[in-house]
Structure 1
Amino acid sequence: MAVFTPVTLEDVGHWISQFPLGKAVALKGIASGIENSNFFLTTERGEYVLTIFENLTFQQLPFYLQLMRHLAEHGVLVPAPVANDKGELCVPLHGKPAAIVSKLEGKPQMAPQPVHCAAVGGMLARMHLAGQDFALKQPNLRALPWWREATAAVLPHIALEQAHLLHEEMKFQEALHASADYHALQRGPVHADLFRDNVMFDGERLTGFFDFYFAGCDTWLFDVAVTVNDWCIDLATGALDEARVRAMLDAYHAVRPFTAAEHSLWPAMLRAGALRFWLSRLYDLHLPRAAEMLTPHDPTHFERILRTRIAVPAPELY
């Protein structure tokens, strides 16, 4: 999250009249993240989050917003999108698509323990199962085709050692994604960005997943790998913390058992998750967009994780 499109309380004042939320009384930009313009919005009816979408189009957004509504209706803890008086979940603001969703209780847990990882693992499995009958389809827009484009874009900006690693890992992932085992993996809607700062806790109680705007249809195992690569590591080294990994995977497996194909491809998918975020951070660092509030993330963090996943065997799925 960031602020690329400045919005004032006065701007929102008339615009919000189409929603059943009363008057807007406070608006505050959210500085974290790097994709959309986000604001905490307080109205006469409560607290919400206003998002202006900087890259996603009006045609793409129904997938994300309807997915959140679908998951909420199936008991998954996610923000609920608010419809306007025409039943629309996405409407223009300053000429760009915008949406309002409910604000979750609590705060992100940035120093997770096994109990937090177990809660995330169990809810992630529930989310995957709940999404099985979601009618809309959209690919993960940051999957292999985007990795190819991003690789070509960042190669001129990185050192030879990094370029070698990137070439070799892309070769590995191209072969993996072409394999019969990969195509046998179970798939459906995934969050694809379930980092610590995209989950809310009240103490040890998980209150919800949010920021679904990287979601898409992909393998469930990729979603688990992305989540483990953030929640279950030592931040300084990138090494997996086995107690947290075990807590997350066991809780997930108890709700939606892992398959034999997932077991065999688990180490490779951890590498895929690390590659995806190394590439996006390289791209954001070397080809940045202007923003009023923006702090690019350090690419070396996921370079380190990727090198570690290649060198060190991963804990078993089950």
Structure 2
Amino acid sequence: MAVFTSVSLDDVRTWIAQFPLGDAVALKGIASGIENSNFFLTTEQNGRRTEYVLTIFENLGFEQLPFYLQLMRHLASRGVLVPEPVPNRDGELCVPLQGKPAAIVSKLEGGSQMAPQPVHCAAVGDMLAKMHLAGRDFPLHQPNLRGIAWWHATAPEVFPHLSERETALLRSEIHYQEAFHGSDLYRRLQQGPVHADLFRNNVMFDGNRLTGFFDFYFAGCDTWLFDVAVTVNDWCVDLDTGVLDEPRVRAMLDAYHAVRPFTHDEQTGWQCTLRAAALRFWLSRLYDLYRPRAAEMLTPHDPTHFERILRERIATPAPGLSA
């Protein structure tokens, strides 16, 4: 989340008339993130104030957004704790604002847990498994837009900026993942809608109580195992070294497994998938660093963090999945 498109409260006061939310009384830009323009929006109706999140989409078009917004609505209807998109009076979830697609979603309670303990990791693993199961009958399909096809397209954009050591790692890992993604094992992995970006700052807690997952705008259809790997690589690592903390890993994986047991094929493909998840975010952070877009309140993330994680996953086997 960042602010690429500036919007005033007066702009929103006129625009929000199409929603059954009352009057817009406050608007504040959200600084974190790097893809869309996001704002906390406060409305007042019948003397009651309610806070929402307003997103203006900078890269996604009207043809892509139904997947994300309908997925959130689908999950919310099945009891998964996610923000629920608010339709306008015509039933539309995405409408133009400043010439770009925009949507309003409910705001979750609490705050991000940036120093997670095993209890937090267990709550995330439990909800992630429930989310995967709830998405099985979601009717729309869209591939993970930051998957292997994107890796192939993006790597040439960053190679000119890398050292020989970095270039060698990126080339070799893409080659390794090509073989894995082309294998019979990979094709047998269970798939469905995934969040694909379930970092600490995309989950809300009130104390030890998980209140929801948000920011689904990297979601797509991929292996459920990839979603687990992305989540473990953020929630269960030492941030300085990229080394996995086994108590947190065990808490997350065991809680997930209790809801949706891991398959034998997933156990076999676990180490490869952890590497794939590290590669995806190393490459995207390299791209954001070397091919930046102008935005208010935008600070690119450090790519060396996920380079360390990738090297660590290659060098040291991670704790296995629950049997």
Match of 2:220 in 1: 216
Match of 1:270 in 2: 274
| Aligned ranges 1:168-247 → 2 under 5 Å | 168-247=172-251
| Aligned ranges 1:101-140 → 2 under 5 Å | 101-140=105-144
SS of residue paired to 1:132: coil
Match of 1:97 among 92, 97, 101: 101
TM-score for the superposition, normalised by structure 2: 0.98
- 1:292 Cα deviation from its structure 2 partner: 1.4
Match of 1:17 in 2: 17
Which whole-Å CA distance do the structure 2 matches of 1:32 and 1:262 have between them?
Answer: 33
Q: Where in structure 1 do 4 or more consecutive aligned residues deviate above 2 Å?
A: none
Matched, 1:310 2:314: yes
Q: RMSD value over aligned CA atoms?
A: 0.4
Which whole-Å CA distance do the structure 2 matches of 1:251 and 1:295 have between them?
Answer: 34
For these two proteins, the number of residue pairs brought into alignment is: 318
1:226-271 superposed Cα distances (whole Å, 9 cap, x missing partner): 0000000000000000000000000000000000000001000000
SS of residue paired to 2:27: strand
The residue type paired with residue 104 of structure 1 is L
Match of 1:31 in 2: 31
- 1:152 Cα deviation from its structure 2 partner: 1.1
Match of 1:47 in 2: 51
Q: Which consecutive unaligned segments of at least 5 residues does structure 2 have?
A: none
Matched, 1:3 2:7: no
- 1:148 Cα deviation from its structure 2 partner: 0.6
The residue type paired with residue 52 of structure 2 is Y
Which whole-Å CA distance do the structure 2 matches of 1:176 and 1:133 have between them?
Answer: 27
1:175-234 superposed Cα distances (whole Å, 9 cap, x missing partner): 000000000000000000000000000000000000000000000000000000000000
TM-score for the superposition, normalised by structure 1: 1.00
Match of 2:290 in 1: 286
Which whole-Å CA distance do the structure 2 matches of 1:167 and 1:79 have between them?
Answer: 38
- 1:293 Cα deviation from its structure 2 partner: 1.5
Match of 1:69 in 2: 73
Q: Which consecutive unaligned segments of at least 5 residues does structure 1 have?
A: none
Match of 2:152 among 148, 153, 157: 148
Which whole-Å CA distance do the structure 2 matches of 1:167 and 1:83 have between them?
Answer: 45
SS of residue paired to 2:158: helix
